[in-house]
Structure 1
Amino acid sequence: MKYQQEIVINKPRKEVIAKFSDPENMKHWQKGFIFMKPINGQLGEEGSQNLLKYDMGRQQIEMTETILKNDLPDEYSATYEAKGVYNYQVNRFTPTLEKSTLWITENEFQFSGFMKLVGWFMPGAFKKQSKKYMEDFKAFVEDGKSVLDK
């Protein structure tokens, strides 16, 4: 399953990238985020890996992030692997004439095992979650709103 989403953040790209690239901010825009722990390489470097843990309501999910390209402020791409789910994601940040930032994400999901059924019957759930993270990041950058405050 492949899809692309975009959102305009009404802040300059430099400010957007500063918030996006700081792991301490993830808890403010990724609901359910518990922690990120480096497991291989230097934090943020291409080829490095991080363990991410999320509370998704009825269950906790752990995934491994592998950074493929860190060419910020232009692009950040990585893979995310969890049980039954493989996600390749490219994030692009483009300044606009209005001193805003256009954030475009390209996602490609591959499923195995039981998750094949979930991906087949509920593809909208993945798109909806991606969009929600983008909207929450926009609110965090523009207005300082944190998902922790809800």
Structure 2
Amino acid sequence: MKYQQEISINRPRNEVVEKFSDPDNLEHWQRGFIFMKPINGKLGAEGSQNLLKYEMGKREIEMTETILKNDLPKEYSATYEAKGVYNFQINRFNETPENATIWITDNEFKFSGFMKLFGWFMPGAFKKQSWKYMEDFKAFVEDGKSVKNE
């Protein structure tokens, strides 16, 4: 399953990218975020890996992030692997003449095992989750609104 989403953030690109690239900010715009732990390589470097843990409903999910390209503000691409789910994601941040930023994300999901059924019957759930993260990031950057205690 492949899809692209974009959102306009009313802040300069350098500010948006700074907040996006700071792992301490994840808890403010990714609901359910518990922690991120570097497991291989230098934090943020191409080829490095991080263990990410989230609470989703009553379950905890761990995934491995592998950074493929970190050429911010132009591109940040990575893979995210969890049990039964593989996600390849590209993030780009484009400036507008109004000094705002367009965040464009391309996602490709592949499923295995039980998650194959979930991906087949509920593909909208993944798009909806991606969009919610984008909206929450926009609110965090523009208004300082955090999802941490929600």
Q: CA RMSD in A?
A: 0.5
Alpha-carbon separation, structure 1, partners of 2:46 and 2:108: 19
| Pairing of 1:19-58 with structure 2 (within 5 A) | 19-58=19-58
Tell me which amino acid in the other structure corresponds to 1:44: G
- How far off is 1:57 after superposition? 1.3
Q: TM-score, normalised by structure 2?
A: 0.99
Tell me which amino acid in the other structure corresponds to 2:58: R
Alignment correspondent of 1:5: 5
Alpha-carbon separation, structure 2, partners of 1:76 and 1:148: 24
| Pairing of 1:1-150 with structure 2 (within 5 A) | 1-150=1-150
Alpha-carbon separation, structure 2, partners of 1:120 and 1:108: 14
Tell me which amino acid in the other structure corresponds to 1:58: K
Alpha-carbon separation, structure 1, partners of 2:144 and 2:5: 22
Tell me which amino acid in the other structure corresponds to 1:67: I
Identity across matched positions, percent: 79
Give secondary structure in 2 for the equivalent of 1:67. strand
Alpha-carbon separation, structure 2, partners of 1:92 and 1:68: 14
Q: TM-score, normalised by structure 1?
A: 0.99
- How far off is 1:13 after superposition? 0.2
Alpha-carbon separation, structure 1, partners of 2:42 and 2:4: 29
Cα deviation code 1:58-79 (max 9, x no counterpart): 2000000000000001100000
Alpha-carbon separation, structure 1, partners of 2:97 and 2:137: 21
Cα deviation code 1:5-27 (max 9, x no counterpart): 00000000000011000000000
